[in-house]
Amino acid sequence: MPAVMGILNLTPDSFSDGGRFIAPERALAQARRMIAEGADIIDIGAESTRPYGAEPVSVAEELNRLRPVLGEIVSLGVPVSIDSMKAAVVAWALDTGAVVANDVWGLQGDMEMAGLMAKRHLPVVVMHNRERVDADIDIMRDIADFFARSLEIAERAGVSRGNIALDPGIGFGKTPEQSMTVLARLAEFRAFGLPLLVGASRKRFISSVVPSEPAQRLGGSIAAHLLAARGGARIIRTHDVAETVQALRVTAAIEDRR
């Protein structure tokens, strides 16, 4: 069964839960709740990376949001991932006890990221992203080429290949149709020989099938994540930990009886 990564957004403008957990006491309570529900990793982000309308955040502001809570969440005893595209923020978070970097620009945004992760000898999630959506491209080829570039950057910097996971970036720089193609053909990325992470939670492609607001997309999220697990995803990133853990465990229990 895949590991489950619980999403904790310390932001006012994330697409699904912006503002809900920006207060430190609420963030800590949500982390405790997700751990009790079965989260294997807590992924903390202090800057919205939603594809449309997110406000850029300075390093100082990102750290201001993280400082009151990160150490306390680390002390809960579950591995913590820092969701940031800035090497300076990641460095601080790792110093504070985070053990994974989740980079939505796959080592191709902040060019200091790869060197940082090489020095720290800690895992990094390399996510595919694009500056703009292009419905006419071969999205599978685009992702594969992006991953190849990221892995070349990682190798040059000295990042251990065993410390890299790949995320195809559902909803990032993709049409809804492209996101669904990626989920349908996820197994093709197993050719890289690296763990795959998938975060389809509450994403817009679900609404393209069944019109819905983010909070109404639990069923679609679970369907996508179960298919991702079947396609080889080793980590599932989700807002809805309890429901996702239940779905994965029941699926695994049924499949064990084949």
3-state DSSP call for residue 122?
A: coil
* Active-site position among 202, 203, 204, 217: 203
Q: What is the pLDDT of residue 56?
A: 81
How far is it, in rounded angstroms, from Cα 130 to Cα 237?
Answer: 20
- CATH number of the domain within which 101 lies: 3.20.20.20
Are the C-beta atoms of 128 and 107 separated by less than 8 Å? Answer: no
Straight-line distance from the first to the last Cα atom of the chain, in angstroms, rounded to the nearest whole number: 16
User: Does position 50 have pLDDT exceeding 80, yes or no?
Assistant: no
User: Does position 18 have pLDDT exceeding 60, yes or no?
Assistant: no
pLDDT-wise least confident of 8-22, 23-37, 50-64, 80-94: 8-22
| 82 DSSP β-pair partners | 44, 101
Select from 3, 1, 2, 4 the least CA-distant residue to 239. Answer: 4
How far is it, in rounded angstroms, from Cα 221 to Cα 225?
Answer: 6
The pTM for the full model equals 0.94
Select from 140, 138, 137 the least CA-distant residue to 169. Answer: 140
Between 49 and 114, the more confident residue is 114
Q: What is the pLDDT of residue 54?
A: 61
Q: What is the pLDDT of residue 1?
A: 94
pLDDT confidence band for 49 (50 / 70 / 90): confident
Residue 237 annotated in active site: yes
Alpha-carbon distances, residue 122 vs 45, 94, 128, 132, 171 (angstroms) = 18, 9, 20, 30, 26
User: What proportions of the chain, in percent to the nearest 5, are helix, strand and coil?
Assistant: 45, 15, 40
CA diameter of the chain: 53
Range of the domain at 240: 3-255
Quick one: tokens of 175? Answer: 């049409």
pLDDT-wise least confident of 34-38, 49-53, 211-215, 254-258: 49-53
pLDDT confidence band for 23 (50 / 70 / 90): confident
Give the count of domains, the chain.
1
| C-beta neighbour count of 211 within 10 angstroms | 8
pLDDT digits (tens, 9 = 90+) for 74-116: 999 999 999 999 999 999 999 999 999 999 999 999 999 999 9
Residue 32 annotated in active site: no
Tell me the pLDDT of the chain averaged across its residues. Answer: 94
What's the average model confidence in pLDDT over 203-211?
Answer: 97
Burial (CB count within 10 angstroms: exposed 0-12, middle 13-18, buried 19+), residue 136: exposed
* Active-site position among 86, 202, 217, 237: 237
User: Does position 253 have pLDDT exceeding 60, yes or no?
Assistant: yes
Q: What is the pLDDT of residue 195?
A: 98
3-state DSSP call for residue 86?
A: coil
